Structure formats: structure tokens, C-alpha cells
Structure 1
Amino acid sequence: MAFSPDSRWLASGSADRTVRLWDMSDPEAEPTILSGHEARVWSVAFSPDSRWLASGSDDRTVRLQFTLKVLTEIGCQKVRRNLSWAEWQRYLGQEAYRRTCPALPIHPSFIESGRELARAGQVEEAIARFEAAVALDPTLDLDPEEEANQFALLGLIAQTANLFSQGDVETAVVTLKQAHELAPDFQQLSPDIAAELNDSSVWNTLCWQGRLWNHAAEVIDACEVAVQLAPEDGGIRDSRGMARALTGDFAGAIADFQAFVAWAPDHDHSDEVVDRRHSWIEVLNNGGNPFDEDMLETLRNES
């Protein structure tokens, strides 16, 4: 246990691997809990100017940390921001996030932490995180439930694309159904939200893989989102073209394959790949569908 030289702080080490920091100017306030050690904390000491706190532990480390006073000073006066979510977790542990600089907005990483929860399928936890953000800053243009559902959808989209790529079609179909329960039409997503998935790449992967495994109707809206995000990408047009053909939109499929054929020579695609698209266009122009099970199996083996 140690008092700071300016008598403002009292620090104590504990067997629970934490350091507790009391603000002696407000003795009735709960202590700040500093985490980070992996074993019992057996020693604490302040620097002569009270700005630093050192702690020694049975984990054979010494941690040097700012006092909360200095954290607040740096954040509010020098950096002009509130603590990030990572900083808050590091220095304040499980305390509820708050604005240490009341005149400044909450750090964007606090909202992003809610989005990460939603992407991981922890929707209720994400809603609670967003509600806390709105309570701290009522000016935020954020609907907690809508935000959580949109980012949960993005998590399901990424998961489904990955499952299809791995050949786990049965599970992919389940997660795709869950995604459509959140958004019957993926095009309902705002472009900014849709672009969170590495721009068009994940959407295109879902489009490409879904129609290879006979689920073109369920992924056609993902194809549309991919094209909206990258309309000049002939490879993405190619993915949508096949999905269109498999869902009966032959005219749309022809237009997409023609776009790919015009785009391919400048993007290192072989003559064989281009010739195959020419043959598909010919079959479609004659009212046929080139994508029978044999062709789908060939494409699956090539992907």
C-alpha cells in the first residue's frame, strides 16, 4: 500500500492480481481497479511527482501506469479525446465506460466494440453497448437494435461465405437463412454498412460460392450488393451473370458475361476462360442454360 507524494492517491496491491487506486479528494468514491498482472500484486509505489504508479507482481513483471489524473489530463487537454475502449479496459478494468472528458464525444472505438459483439453473434450484448453509448451521448444518430442487427447480419454474411468456400454447404445454408431472417433482401442495407465487409469481396465470395452449390436464388441479392459496390469489376459481373442464369434471367446473364469478356483481357484472364464465357453467351442466346450439374461440378473443382 502507498500514498502518492501529493496525498491525492492511495494505491494497494491485491492477491486478486489487481491494483486499487483511491482518489483521496473524494474518499467515498469507489476505487479505480487497474488490471493487467497475472499473479498477486505485492508492491506498489508512486513516482515523486505522483504522475506514475509502479506495481510489482509474482508474475515477475513490473507495470508502470499513469494515474487516472494524468490519463484524464492527457486525454482532455493534449490529445483532445476520451479514452479508447482498449485504454479503458486496460486501466479501468470492468468499470462502466464513461466520458472522462465531459465536453468531448465518446471514443469511436466504444461504438466499434459493440459492432464487434454483433458480428460475433452477441446481439443482446451489442444492443446494451449501443444503449450505453447513446446514454453517454444522446446526440448520436444510432438506433441500438437496428445497429446491432445490421452488424450481426454482416457477421452472418462473412460466416456463410467462408462456410461455402470450405464446402460446408449444410451449415452455410443454415447461416444464410439466419441472415435472410434479419434482412429478407440484402440490398436493404445502406452502402456504407454493406461496404464494411471488405468492400465487395465477401459479397462476391458469397455470390460465387452460393450459386456453385445450387443456392443461386438465395444469394442473388448478395450478387447485386457486390455489383453495386464495384460496378466496374468484370469478375463480380461474371459471378452475378451465373446467378442470373440459374434464376432464369438469361438477358441479364448475357449482359454480365459480355461485360466480363470486355474486361478480362486487361485483367490477366486466359483465353480459355474468355472462350468459355463466349460459349455460355451462345447457349443463353439460343434459349438454353449452360449451367447443368456437370458444369457446376467442373466450376466447383476449379474454385
Structure 2
Amino acid sequence: MKLWNLQGKLLQTLKGHKNSVRGVAFSPDGETIATASWDKTVKLWNLQGKLLQTLKGHEDIVNGVAFSPDGETIATASFDKTVKLWTNWRIEDLTKLGCEWLNDYLITHPQELEELKICQTYGRKKVASRNLVIVGEKLARESNGETKKLEAAAAKLEKAAKWNPDLDLNPNFKVWAASLGEAEKLMEEGTELAREGKIEAAIEKYQRAKELDKVAFIPTWQNINPEAKAKLEASDAVDGLDKGSKLVKRGKVKDAIDSYKQVEKIDPTQITAGYWYTLCWYGSLYKQAADVMFACEKAVALSPKDGGIIDSRGLARALTGDIEGAIEDFQVYVEWTDNEKNKAQRQEWIKALQAGENPFTD
């Protein structure tokens, strides 16, 4: 950021942000400058260009900053969908502030909240309890019937019930965990049988798995059709997806979409983020971004931390006129990738889009 007087003389150049500066504000007394940046931070400077403090806590781009009229509070607005208020925190407030900064993370990662007892409040535990149930059920499903893993899963489920009695959970935690572990085992056995051509036996396994899966807080197998899934596995659904991938790479986007949708009707769990990404990326390259946008969104939903997948959605967004969304996705990719060539290319795209220009040629 550069500071000028009204005669156009450059007074100071403020350096320190690692990415674009989105917002600037002067304190009411005119002595402090606040800058908001794409690097997810807000920095405070004096008029001599000295960095006074860096405010960290947002999880995405900070695109707005303002001082209160009395100068005691700073408000910051971010793409992480939050507004944060900052004051001159006392040292005894730092622990509470840290827990508040981590609030969303702790709620979505309840196993971390279990470890950070200092951040455990009644309200935070209650909100995180649902995610703790999900963690417990995941452990149960991945247990492969091992006693220790099932016990660990049951312990998570029991703790979730203690954190939030309003969930009204099944108190037979060990039976609950064992049922989900057995359901996953039956699904795997059914798939093996189907691929061996033993359709009737596979259907029976799948049906039993569905029954056991009913105890789940978040059921996984209730929407499957045992007969359809067995036949799909017997014919190998991945072949159908590979066919769709090859079609879109050759520019036959409509045929590829039809192939994907046929598999999705039978068993959507077969289509991984990678398959959706392929349909999104190549569909966009063949100028049919609007038609494959649904695939872009599905890919991101299945793998929300994969910068390459988010980058493919950025291209589709740019080609369909969602410039702000495209810039946001490309920025995520820039921060994610270690490929300097690709990083520089996306940065040029961002600059062009911000300037209202189209950086893409045929």
C-alpha cells in the first residue's frame, strides 16, 4: 500500500502483506492505518509506515475494515462469512480469544475440542456433539470388526450423548458401533460377490447391510437399491465412468454427461471427486462450462480442500460470467499449489479478471 499527500507526493510504502490489499481505513485520530488483505490478515500501521500489529483469525480473504467512531474497536469483514470485532485485548482475554478464533474449527473437529479442555464450554460442546457422533460412526465403519476400534467408536458416541443430551441417542453405544462395523463389512462382501457374478448372494449381503445401517445417526446405505448395485458392480461401474471420462476428453460433453448420470442413478457413491473434476475441467475446455457446472460443484463438495479441483471450478465460473467466484477459486489455487508456473499463470488471470478483461483464448 502507498501513502500520498494531496499534492501527489509519495510519503510511505507499506510492505508486509503476502497478497492483494482489499481494504484500507484510517483511525478517527488519523494516526493509525488498517489494511485488509487476501492473505487473511489485517495489519495496523503508523503514519511512518511501521507495522504495529497483525490481526489474525479469519479463515479466508479479508475484504473490509473499519474503525468505530471512538477508535477503540476495529471491525473486519471476510469471505469466511464472518465479521470480527477487535479491541485492545488484555492478556487474560487471550485464551478466550484463541478459543473464539478456533470456534468453527473446533466444532467441525470435535476430536480436537476433546483435547483442548480449556476451550470446552457447554454451548460449544453441544454444537460440536453432532460432529462427534459423525466421528464415532466413521470409526465404527472403518473398524473392520476390530474390538479396540469399536470400543473407541462407542466411546465417541457416548461422549456425544453427554455433551448434548438433547440428541436423544441410542444408549446401546457398543451395539450401535458394532452394527455399523458389520454393515460396512457386509457391503464389502457383497461387492466381492457381485464382481464374482454371484448376484443373489450379493443382494442378500446388501440388504442385511441396509437393515443394520438403520441404527446410524447419519445412515449411509438407505438409498441404495441392492439389486441395482449388485448388477452395477457385476458390470463394473468404473468402466462406465472411464467411458464418460474418455468421451469428455474428446469433446463429446453431452454423451459424457449422460454416461455419468446413468451411473449416478444407480449408485452415486461410485463417482469420486476425481471423476467429477474430469467432467468439469474438460467440459469447460470444450466451451460447455454451463452444462458441466453441476459436476464442478459436486467435485468441490466431495473434496473441498483440493486446490486443483477448486481451480477447475474457477475456470467454469469465469467462462459462465461469475467473475467474483472465479477470482476467489483461483486465489485458493494460488495459495495451494507449489507449481510456480501455474501459480504465476493464475495470478495473471486474476489480474485480468479484476480489470474486467478476458484472459482466456481458444
TM-score by length of 1: 0.44
Task: Mark the structure with the bigger radius of gyration.
Answer: 1
Query: Using CA pairs below 8 Å that are at least 6 residues apart, which structure has the higher relative contact order?
Result: 1
